[in-house]
Amino acid sequence: MDTDHLLYSGEKDCDWGMNFSSVVGYGRITIVSDHEEKRKGLDCIMAHYSDRKDFSYDEKIMSRTAVLRIDIEEITGKQK
């Protein structure tokens, strides 16, 4: 995954480039089937993007929602 893209230019075409930050990880991905673990994962995502802590989910939608858990075995980062 990469983020913080910033295109920079120069006088010559070959002087152009991209500044960025990136993270590369390796691990095992699992589909979460346990209802409480699924809710916990969604709560973490929702809390990250809001200032709230309590969330309620429509059970009909929850039953059709896939949550994936990544158990990270190795991770590296880079910034240019």
| Stretch (H or E) spanning 40 | helix 35-48
pLDDT tens, 9-64? Answer: 888 778 788 899 999 999 999 999 999 999 999 999 999 998 888 999 999 999 99
Judged against a pLDDT cut of 80, whether residue 73 lies above it is answered with yes
Residue-level pLDDT at 10: 81
Q: What is the pLDDT of residues 51-71, one digit of tens each?
A: 888 999 999 999 999 999 999
Write down the pLDDT at residue 5: 87
The two three-digit tokens of residue 48, written as one number: 């990250």
Boundaries of every domain in the chain = 2-79
How far apart are alpha carbons 57 and 73 in whole angstroms? 31
Q: Which of 14, 17, 15 is nearest to 6 (CA)?
A: 17
